[in-house]
Structure 1
Amino acid sequence: MRRPVLSTALLLLLLGGCASSPDDGASPDREADGASAGDHWRPRPGTAWQWQLSGRLDTSVDVPVYDIDGFDHPESAVAELHDDGRKVICYLSTGAWEDFRPDAEEFPRSVLGKGNGWEGERWLDIRATEVLEPLMAKRLDMCREKGFDAVEPDNMDGYKNETGFPLTADDQLRYNRLIAKLAHDRGMAVGLKNDLDQIPDLVDDFDFAVNEQCAQYGECADNKPFTDADKAVFHVEYELPTERFCADSRELRLSSMLKKYELDAWREAC
């Protein structure tokens, strides 16, 4: 799940690595670094990236991987990034309901739990796979049809939060593996979002990780199973200056950057 922040920050949009910013003068290798794992992409540690979930999409950042909102961007945006040699990750919320999505009315009230701290969002009862599997499959079909290479499923650690449901670690493992399988069945890579405690159990099921604020909370070493498996860890901090985390990120082979909470185009890379 996205990190909780102070109440004043709840007005910010947070739907949600070290690469270069558009104006930092760096120009990393633009080839999307990664191995083929069966029929899907698998990015390697240290692969530079851009994560933008709000504002007009800025395609000028000189990195090989973009992570963008799957609902908000058409097939043509993905194709433009592909034409420029980028791999493109489809951001989706798979563990929480969002009232602003076009399929919001398809979710029965029985699977909607407590708010997760973000306006218009509520935790999902991930035990109800007979309800959620077809809904998530439809969302992943959308990502595939738009041409995305991978999926970033968000809110994948509900069992550690006050969801309104008695979720267990086993419930979370089953659901996260289901989401991974749905992505792989559609030829897309899939990333594990946060959920640090379950990394040892899930590293073989996922192709990369996406982490928020592991440096701020002293947790970055917990991502080591991914880098040891030659899988990228796309990492962001929001409150620490780069001099506080970049040296450790390089040692751990994380793809780290500083972003604003609203996840617009601005970035400061390691």
Structure 2
Amino acid sequence: MPFTPAARMPVAPLLALALALSGCAASDTADDSGASATPKAAESSAASGHAVRQPRANDPFDYQLGGAYDPPDGVRTVIRDRTAAPDPDPGIYNICYINAYQTQPDAVAWWRKNHPDLLLRDADGATVIDEDWEEPLLDISTDDRRDRLAGIVGGWIDGCADRGFDAVEADNLDSYLRSDGLLDRGEAAAFAGLLAERAHRAGLAIGQKNAAEMTGVRDEIGFDFAVAEECARYEECDAYADAYDDKVLVIEYRRADLTVACREWGDRLSIVLRDRDVVPAGEPGHVNARC
């Protein structure tokens, strides 16, 4: 299936992004009157002609990447894989998961056959792999590769919109940390900017997935909300909450961490306890609890 390449991120946002990542003063992104510049997310959604519906802070949510099932009572936000259908309940806010920076293990052969040059390789030509999940990293190191990858991933984003999702969650933003130094944070942020533009053009909100160190450039990238795994365990929830006005979906995988998350953030953030394999309800090993 052909994909239309996403538009290149404008020079001004890229400059602001570079300044932010280099630690320059935040005032560099303000206008002459001293007022803050309009966030890129708002600019992009306005330009798209589509209304981007935002998730609501502290709505009960469920994380269903291992397979779709009827949400528990009271749940108002659901995250499902892009291969699944959104929940048909009109009261549910549906978020579409996409693996934007790495390849799914069952898709490696497709990438090697169709786009072998878009897989990140080391000096010996070996594919660089996230060993925890056995997922090869995608090569976002150049403008050309980012544009081509944004065309492919952008097709997935458009598919999420066509099927009725409200938003996308772009996973593995932090894959540069697993690239053996071949990728950096600026390249990850530049690619995220392309994906944010594509999502907003399709009428979807887009969430930052993990990478708490990048919350400071959310406006330059265009992220609308955050999905944070184990932020209570690693004491990062405050960074996400401050950056996203509490529009943060937290997944914890240990009951002790759920207890901490609920005690400190239960009245502000959306929090769920899931098993690490996120298996569907009714299957062995399924864990699902909230504050």
1:170-189 matched pairs, under 5 angstroms: 170-189=186-205
- Corresponding letter in the other structure for 2:72: V
Relative CO higher for 1 or 2, CA cutoff 8 Å, sep ≥ 6?
Answer: 1
Cα distance in 1 between the residues matched to 2:63 and 2:195: 21
8 A Cα contact 2:71 2:78, kept in partner: no
Residue 267, structure 1, aligned to residue 285, structure 2: no
Pairwise CA RMSD: 2.2
Q: 1:216 aligns with which of 233, 239, 255?
A: 233
**Residue 108 of structure 2 corresponds to residue 93 of structure 1:** no
Q: Does residue 48 of the first structure (1) align with residue 60 of the second (2)? A: yes
Instruction: Verify the 8 A CA contact 1:100 1:120 in the aligned structure 2.
Output: no
SS of the aligned residue for 1:245 comes to helix
Give me the TM-score of the superposition, normalised by structure 2. 0.70
Distance 1:262 1:213 in 2: 14
SS in 2 for 1:200: helix
Larger Rg: 2
Aligned equivalents of 2:155, 2:263: Cα separation in 1: 41
Larger strand percent: 1
How far residue 154 of structure 1 moved from its aligned partner, in angstroms, is 0.4
Structure 1 stretches lacking a partner, 5+ long? 1-36
2: CA distance between counterparts of 1:87 and 1:44?
9
Going from structure 1 to structure 2, the CA distance change for 1:60 and 1:233 (only over 3 Å counts) comes to closer
Any stretches of 5+ residues in structure 2 without a counterpart? 1-44, 121-127, 282-286
- Seen in structure 2, the aligned counterparts of structure 1 residues 169 and 60 have a Cα distance that, compared at 3 Å, is closer
Aligned pair partner of 1:148 in 162, 165, 172:
165
Matched residue type, 2:152: L
- After TM superposition, the runs of 4+ consecutive aligned structure 1 residues lying more than 6 A away are none
In structure 1, what is the equivalent of residue 15 of structure 2? Answer: none
| C-alpha contact 1:226 1:233 (8 A) present in aligned 2 | no
Cα distance in 1 between the residues matched to 2:263 and 2:252: 13
Corresponding position: 1:82 with 2:120: no
Q: In structure 2, the residue corresponding to 1:68 is in which secondary structure?
A: strand
* 1:61 paired residue number: 72
Mean Cα deviation higher: 143-152 or 111-120: 111-120
8 Å CA contact 2:55, 2:93 repeated in 1: no
Higher mean alpha-carbon deviation, 167-176 vs 88-97, is at 167-176
